[in-house]
Amino acid sequence: MGASSRLLRAVIMGAPGSGKGTVSSRITKHFELKHLSSGDLLRDNMLRGTGFPRTLPQAEALDRAYPIDLVINLNVPFEVIKQRLTARWIHPASGRVYNIEFNPPKNVGIDDLTGEPLTQREDDRPETVVKRLKAYEAQTQPVLEYYQKKGVLETFSGTETNKIWPHVYAFLQTKVPQINQKAPVTP
């Protein structure tokens, strides 16, 4: 790497279920950035798919260690996320996972193979999801305001990752060298 290609340090923020994992894996496929979880703090390229930093003190500490160049904020309506997260049902005995939207059981609430009832993980229950989303919002609002003031926040709003992604892609093209020029923008 030449001196001219300074490393871009980016953070991806978004509520649980907003599509951070999907977006960050697409970014690493198309751009020369490494996808990192919050465990790998000391790498050169930082692209976080974990929602870290979650609090203002974390954001400030991160900035002292690694000044952040860019914060991608995925702004997906809570209702959409709630639908997404509560759509998951499991068959406890086998571990089979159903999704009401993408991979529904033949009969609602019933395992296809055994005919036994499906359950929801505690995490996927509507009341738990709402609690998690409210906590996320309360905690990260000051973080988003902090990055907004620093002029590094870019917010992408939408209800579907596949509709948000082309905007994130187009924006990053102006910031980062691409590795895979021929790869299509679509997923």
Assess if residue 41 is contained within a domain: yes
CB contact set of 135 (below 8 Å; sequence gap of 6+): none
Assess if residue 66 is contained within a domain: yes
Long-range contacts of 79-86 (CB under 8 A, 24+ apart): 80/159, 81/15, 81/16, 81/17, 81/18, 81/129, 81/133, 82/126, 82/129, 82/130, 82/133, 84/17, 85/16, 85/17, 85/123, 85/124, 85/129, 86/120, 86/124, 86/125, 86/126, 86/129
Angle between the N-to-C axes of helices 161-173 and 20-30, in degrees from 0 to 180, rounded to the nearest 10: 40
- With bands split at pLDDT 50, 70 and 90, how would you rate the model's confidence at 2? very low
pLDDT tens-place string over residues 124-170 = 999 999 999 999 999 999 999 999 999 999 999 999 999 999 999 99
pLDDT tens-place string over residues 170-184 = 998 888 766 555 555
Specify the length of the chain in residues: 187
pLDDT tens-place string over residues 21-39 = 888 888 878 876 655 443 3
Specify the amino acid at residue 144.
L
SS3 89: strand
Assess if residue 180 is contained within a domain: no
pLDDT of residue 25: 81
Of 95 and 182, the structure prediction assigns the larger pLDDT to: 95
Q: How many domains does the chain have?
A: 1
CATH number at residue 83: 3.40.50.300
Assess if residue 179 is contained within a domain: no
Assess if residue 73 is contained within a domain: yes
| pTM, full prediction | 0.76
Assess if residue 117 is contained within a domain: yes
The pair of structure tokens assigned to 167 is 């905007």
The CA angle 123-128-76, to the nearest 5 degrees, is 90
Assess if residue 46 is contained within a domain: yes
- With bands split at pLDDT 50, 70 and 90, how would you rate the model's confidence at 187? low
Domain housing 16:
10-174
Strand order in the sheet with 153-157: 46-48, 9-14, 70-75, 153-157
- With bands split at pLDDT 50, 70 and 90, how would you rate the model's confidence at 106? very high
Assess if residue 2 is contained within a domain: no
